[in-house]
């Protein structure tokens, strides 16, 4: 496709006449001659045409005939770089600047993955009210790509369950489905089979200690559990404790103090838990 053919095809795709494309920088006669291939436009004319036709100048002078393919090829390096750097908002911005028909294949996968990154970041920061909208974007994008997205959808649904019911998210979608999604999100069942280990292992010290504290709680060892929970809470100033984990810590601290008969502190942590829960809804 020649440059003139591209100009004509794009003009018609936008429903514009040659007169409507023409302006102070380009005459209608010049556009007619460019489309016929009679003349070659100057650089300033190319820029004027590109602006009116909403296409990059590089596309007009490239060998690529399909505008969408050209835009995808130009955007992918920036999109991949932004995703590798965890600049998820930049990924979303790049994708949204592309035409609707570009939302496919790798672009759609990267868009969904970036939105998941934003959802999990919102979960960590306690901005739970944003998550349902973000998950809707993920569900839209995964329909546009044939690439594997099961793990993305599983993690997205888990985020939404926590956003809707922070205290007991498994009740929101059912315990069996919650556990199945957790397995699907990280391939946990496969890892269990390969390791021949029947217990889930975690490596984050805060999660590991919280699991131990809950084991002690179940065993009625409230003072021991309290010591661990207080230690975890003290780390919240470091930024390593996400809002949802802190919510669960407050819940268990309330239970410990109540069982130990310290109702003043139980009431205090009940207030902290409810305050954080209210913030989730804002």
One domain for residues 82 and 21: no
CA distance 154 to 138: 11
Last residue within a domain, chosen from 173, 193, 213: 193
Q: What is the pLDDT of residues 155-165, one digit of tens each?
A: 999 999 999 99
Give 130's pLDDT tier (boundaries 50, 70, 90).
very high
> Using the 8-state DSSP alphabet, how is residue 15 labeled?
T
One domain for residues 117 and 180: yes
Contact 56, 50 (CB under 8 A): yes
Predicted local confidence at residue 91, as pLDDT: 98
Task: Record the tokens describing residue 68, joined without a space.
Answer: 């969408």
Last residue within a domain, chosen from 61, 84, 99: 61
Q: Is 43 contained in some domain?
A: yes
Q: Is 19 contained in some domain?
A: yes
CATH of the domain at 235: 1.25.40.10
Give the residue-averaged pLDDT of 68-96. 97
> Using the 8-state DSSP alphabet, how is residue 24 labeled?
S
One domain for residues 225 and 255: yes
Find the range with the poorest average confidence among 49-53, 181-185, 212-216: 181-185
One domain for residues 115 and 50: no
Task: Record the tokens describing residue 139, joined without a space.
Answer: 């569900």
Last residue within a domain, chosen from 164, 193, 222: 193
CATH of the domain at 14: 1.10.260.40
DSSP 87-155: -HHHHHHHHHTS-GGG-SHHHHHHHHHHHHHHHHHHHHHT-GGGHHHHHHHHHHHHTT--S--HHHHHH
CA distance 122 to 119: 5
Q: Is 164 contained in some domain?
A: yes
Task: Record the tokens describing residue 76, joined without a space.
Answer: 């992918």
Give 76's pLDDT tier (boundaries 50, 70, 90).
very high
User: CA separation (Å) from 201 to 93, 141, 197?
Assistant: 37, 32, 9
Residue of 84, 13, 9, 3 lying closest to 39 (CA atoms):
3
Q: Is 199 contained in some domain?
A: no
Helices (H), the chain: 3-13, 18-21, 28-36, 43-53, 57-61, 67-84, 88-96, 105-125, 131-142, 150-164, 169-173, 175-186, 188-195, 205-218, 222-233, 243-259, 263-281
Residue of 143, 148, 124, 110 lying closest to 247 (CA atoms):
124
Contact 70, 62 (CB under 8 A): yes
Give 63's pLDDT tier (boundaries 50, 70, 90).
confident
CA angle 177, 112, 82 (to 5 degrees): 135
Q: Is 115 contained in some domain?
A: yes
One domain for residues 25 and 97: no
One domain for residues 50 and 75: no
One domain for residues 54 and 75: no
Q: How many domains does the chain have?
A: 3
Domain membership of residue 261 as a residue range: 205-281
One domain for residues 90 and 164: yes
One domain for residues 80 and 181: yes
């Amino acid at each position: 496709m020649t440059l003139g053919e591209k100009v004509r095809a794009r003009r018609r795709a936008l429903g514009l006449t040659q007169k409507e494309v023409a302006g102070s920088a380009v005459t209608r006669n010049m556009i007619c001659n460019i489309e016929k291939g009679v003349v070659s436009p100057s650089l300033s004319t190319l820029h004027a045409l590109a602006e009116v036709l909403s296409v990059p100048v590089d596309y007009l002078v490239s060998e690529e005939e399909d505008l969408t393919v050209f835009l995808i090829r130009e955007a992918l390096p920036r999109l991949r770089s932004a995703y590798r750097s965890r600049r998820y908002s930049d990924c979303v911005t790049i994708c949204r600047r592309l035409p609707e028909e570009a939302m496919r294949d790798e672009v759609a996968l990267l868009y969904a993955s970036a939105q998941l990154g934003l959802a999990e970041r919102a979960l960590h920061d306690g901005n739970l009210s944003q998550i349902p909208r973000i998950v809707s974007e993920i569900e839209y994008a995964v329909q546009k790509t044939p690439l594997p997205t099961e793990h993305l959808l599983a993690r997205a649904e888990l985020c939404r369950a926590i956003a809707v019911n922070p205290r007991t998210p498994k009740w929101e979608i059912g315990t069996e489905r919650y556990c199945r999604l957790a397995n699907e999100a990280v391939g946990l069942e496969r890892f269990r089979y390969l390791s021949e280990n029947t217990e889930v292992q975690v490596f984050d010290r805060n999660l590991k200690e919280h699991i131990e504290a809950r084991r002690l709680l179940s065993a009625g060892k409230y003072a021991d559990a309290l010591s661990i929970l207080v230690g975890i809470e003290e780390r919240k100033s470091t930024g390593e404790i996400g809002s949802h984990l802190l919510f669960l810590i407050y819940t268990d601290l309330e239970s410990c103090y109540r069982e130990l008969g310290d109702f003043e502190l139980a009431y205090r942590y009940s207030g902290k838990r409810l305050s954080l829960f209210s913030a989730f809804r804002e």
